[in-house]
Amino acid sequence: PKSKAAAPKAEKPPSRTVRLTHPDRIYWPDEGVTKEGLADYYSEVWRYIAPHIVGRPLALLRSPTGIEGQTFFQKHAWKGINAKIIDVQDPADKDDEPYVAIEDLDGLIGLVQSAVLEIHPWGSTLADWERPDRIIMDLDPGEGVEWQAIIDAAEETRERLQAAGLEAFVKTSGGKGLHVCAPLKPSARWPAVKAFCKAMADAMAKDSPDKYVSTISKSKRRGKILIDYLRNQRGMTAVAPYSTRARPGAAVSMPIAWSELSADIGPAYFTVENTPTRLHALSVDPWADFAKAAAPLKAITSKG
């Protein structure tokens, strides 16, 4: 029998039925990545990305003419939306416009058909909007911060999460930084989770004021890393693992093992182009235990 942790090698991507209009439309001009190329990429990573994007409210960065054209960050459904993308109503706000979600690979290809170049899920699922099943600490380097300092910040974040009884996983953002993610058993509600994350960010900034800040103000950020805890708030989102980025380079947000954090890679090292090769070569999915490692958030300690 096959180990759950082993990366599937022989299995073909599942089939899809959504028809792409203009499959040759170029989304990333420098890399020549087309709409069809994007659909192929998402079919390849489907089994890995599915747990992170299925059955959650999604915010979507759409870019109908590619990364060099106009982009739209959309939290709600729009006119002409693909039929495989479903409308969902916020149970806490019946008057709000519907949010969007997907259920299967066709939903994901429906997003591609709709020129979605970035997928930003909520940290909670449609099964329980109020209780997040993950924490995402977004490490945002200011100008002049070295890669090694971002790695150090990720490792310190991991240690602090572990001290609180949580396991931590790391991914590149596909942009400038790293995201440290802790799976949660959905028990604590958004306000408690946010308070926990804020306390951790504030403690990091207080303990190492020369390295970290926990408030958004741009002026204080030069040479420092913003510990952006605000992803962990009801209605806020962060880019999904394996999502592409609508930026030059066709980078993706890549889940990695802690041991892979080194000078060999950078925050935008993994791309639409090199990801399939990486996944086929992997013997173990570094995030295989993400769901299994989920633990409930306990009360906040004074040290954060």
Q: Is 271 in the site for ligand ATP (CB under 6 A)?
A: no
Q: How far apart are CA 45 and CA 7, in angstroms?
A: 11
Give the nearest distance from C-beta 195 to ligand ATP in angstroms.
20
Interface region with Mn ion, contact rule CB under 5 A, candidates 74-82, 139-147, 182-190, 287-295: 139-147
One residue of 140, 151, 153, 242 binding Mn ion per CB under 5 A: 140
Tell me how far apart the alpha carbons of residues 84 and 106 are, in angstroms, rounded to a whole number: 6
Q: Which of 107, 177, 286, 304 binds ligand ATP (CB under 6 A)?
A: 177
* Rounded CA separation 193/268 (Å): 28
Q: Which is nearer to ligand ATP, 85 or 136 (CB)?
A: 136
| Stretch 215-254 residues interacting with ligand ATP (CB under 6 A) | 237-239
Q: Give 73's strand partners.
A: 61
Nearer to Mn ion, 102 or 240 (CB): 240
Backbone angles phi, psi at 67, to 5 degrees: -65, -20
For the record, the structure tokens of 76 come out as: 């709600």
What is the rounded distance in angstroms from the CA atom of residue 234 to the CA atom of residue 101? 16
Distance CA 287, CA 274 (A): 18
- Kindly tell me which of 46 and 242 has the beta carbon lying closer to Mn ion: 242
Q: Dihedral (C-alpha) 135, 136, 142, 143: value to the nearest 10 degrees?
A: 160
The site partner of 239 among Mn ion, ligand ATP, none (C-beta below 5 to 8 Å per kind) is: ligand ATP
Q: Which residues in 199-258 contact Mn ion (CB under 5 A)?
A: 228
Distance CA 275, CA 41 (A): 8
Binding-site partner at residue 16 among Mn ion, ligand ATP, none, CB < 5 to 8 Å by type: none
Which of the ranges 99-107, 109-117, 174-182, 215-223 carries the binding residues for ligand ATP, by CB under 6 A? 174-182
The closest residue (CB) to Mn ion is 228
To Mn ion, the closest distance from the beta carbon of 25 in angstroms equals 28
CA atoms of 219 and 147, how far apart (whole Å): 21
Residue 56 contacts which entry, ligand ATP, Mn ion, none (Cβ below 5-8 A, type-dependent): none
- Smallest CA-to-CA distance from 39 within 64, 60, 18, 56 is with 18
Nearer to Mn ion, 40 or 140 (CB): 140
Residue 122 CA to residue 244 CA, distance in Å, equals 17
Which one of residues 98, 142, 175, 249 is an interface residue with ligand ATP (CB under 6 A)? 175
* Cβ neighbours for 93, distance < 8 A, ≥ 6 positions apart: none
Please pick, from the candidates 40, 133, 138, 156, the single residue that binds Mn ion as defined by CB under 5 A.
138
CB of 172 to Mn ion, least distance (A): 10
Task: Name, in order, each residue with C-beta under 8 angstroms of 40's C-beta and a sequence gap of 6 or more.
Answer: none
Would you tell me which residues interact with ligand ATP (CB under 6 A)?
59, 73, 120, 138, 140, 173, 175-177, 237-239, 267
